[in-house]
Amino acid sequence: MHRRYEILLPLRFNDGRPVPDELIAGTIIEIRNCFGAVSSESQIIHGTWQHQSEIYRDELMRIFIDVEDTAENRTYFLNLKGQIKTRFQQVDIWLTSYPIDVL
């Protein structure tokens, strides 16, 4: 069985400054080096959300990775989420996963 992990990478820091392309590229390369592949979409995903009393407006890109559904891979992505939160200076990073059937 396989699992798809989707990560919304911010294109802007929470204070509105643009995220350097090298930071995004480095994260994508890191995942590709670990799993041999990663996919991304070039369209910008716009979002708005509230944390405590502050309103945030996001510009995001979606990357996704299809891997074996193992406890080790889940742990990898949970750890990666924490690293990305720090790297991109975010309150949170949206990471989702769901089972897929690769034919």
9-45 pLDDT per residue, tens? 999 998 889 999 999 999 999 999 999 999 999 899 9
Looking at the structure of the chain, the number of domains it has is 1
Q: 55-83: string of b/e by CB count within 10 Å (b at 16+)? A: ebebebbbbbbebeeeeebeebbeebbee
CATH of the domain at 42: 3.30.70.120
49-86 pLDDT per residue, tens? 888 898 888 999 999 999 999 999 999 999 999 999 99
Q: How far apart are CA 35 and CA 3, in angstroms?
A: 13
Range of the domain at 69: 2-100
